[in-house]
Amino acid sequence: MAKMTMVEAIRDAHAVAMERDERVVVFGEDVGYFGGVFRCTKGLQQRFGVSRCFDAPITESGIVGAAVGMAAFGLRPCVEIQFADYMYPAYDQIVSEAARLRYRSAGDFSAPLTVRMPVGGGIFGGQTHSQSPESLFTHVAGLKTVMPSNPYDAKGLLIAAIEDDDPVIFLEPKRLYNGPFDGYHDRVATPWSRHELGEVPEGYYNVPLGSAAIRRPGSAVTVLAYGTMVHVALAAVETYGVDAEVIDLRTLIPLDLATIVASVAKTGRCVVVHEATLTSGFGAELAALVQKHAFYHLGAPIERVTGYDTPYPHSQEWAYFPGPERIGAALARVLEG
Q: For 32-87, write each residue's pLDDT tens digit.
A: 999 999 999 999 999 999 999 999 999 999 999 999 999 999 999 999 999 999 99
How would you classify residue 150: left for phi > 0, otherwise alpha for psi between -120 and 50, otherwise beta? beta
Q: Tell me what the pLDDT averaged over the chain comes to.
A: 93
Q: CA-CA distance, 120 to 274, in Å (whole number)? A: 10
Q: CA-CA distance, 321 to 309, in Å (whole number)? A: 12
Tell me: cis bond preceding 254? Omega within 30 of 0 counts.
yes
Give 180's pLDDT tier (boundaries 50, 70, 90).
low
pTM exceeds cut of 0.85: yes
pLDDT at 191 over 80: no
Q: CA-CA distance, 172 to 188, in Å (whole number)? A: 21
Q: CA-CA distance, 148 to 315, in Å (whole number)? A: 26
pLDDT at 104 over 80: yes
> Which one of the listed residues 14, 129, 231, 274 is annotated catalytic?
129
Query: 83 phi and psi, to 5 degrees?
Result: -140, 145
pLDDT at 190 over 70: no
Whether the CB-CB separation of 113 and 26 falls below 8 Å is answered with: no
pLDDT at 185 over 50: no
* Element containing residue 154 per DSSP (H, E): helix 151-163
3-state secondary structure labels for all residues of 250-306: CEEECCCHHHHHHHHHHHCCEEEEEEEECCCCHHHHHHHHHHHHHHHHCCCCCEEEE
Segment 318-336, tens digit of pLDDT:
888 899 999 999 999 999 9
pLDDT for the residue numbered 127? 84
Segment 105-152, tens digit of pLDDT:
999 999 999 999 999 988 778 888 889 999 999 999 999 999 999 999
Segment 228-248, tens digit of pLDDT:
999 999 999 999 999 999 999
pLDDT at 261 over 90: yes
Q: Cα 97–101–104 angle (5° rounding)? A: 110
What does DSSP say about strands 24-28 and 53-55: parallel, antiparallel, or unpaired?
Answer: parallel
Whether the CB-CB separation of 86 and 60 falls below 8 Å is answered with: yes
Distance from CA of residue 11 to its chain's centroid? 16
Q: What percent of the chain has pLDDT over 70?
A: 95
Domains of the chain: 2-200 (3.40.50.970), 213-336 (3.40.50.920)
Q: Is 185 a catalytic residue?
A: no
Q: CA-CA distance, 197 to 6, in Å (whole number)? A: 8
DSSP assignments along 220-241, one per residue: SEEEEE-THHHHHHHHHHHHTT
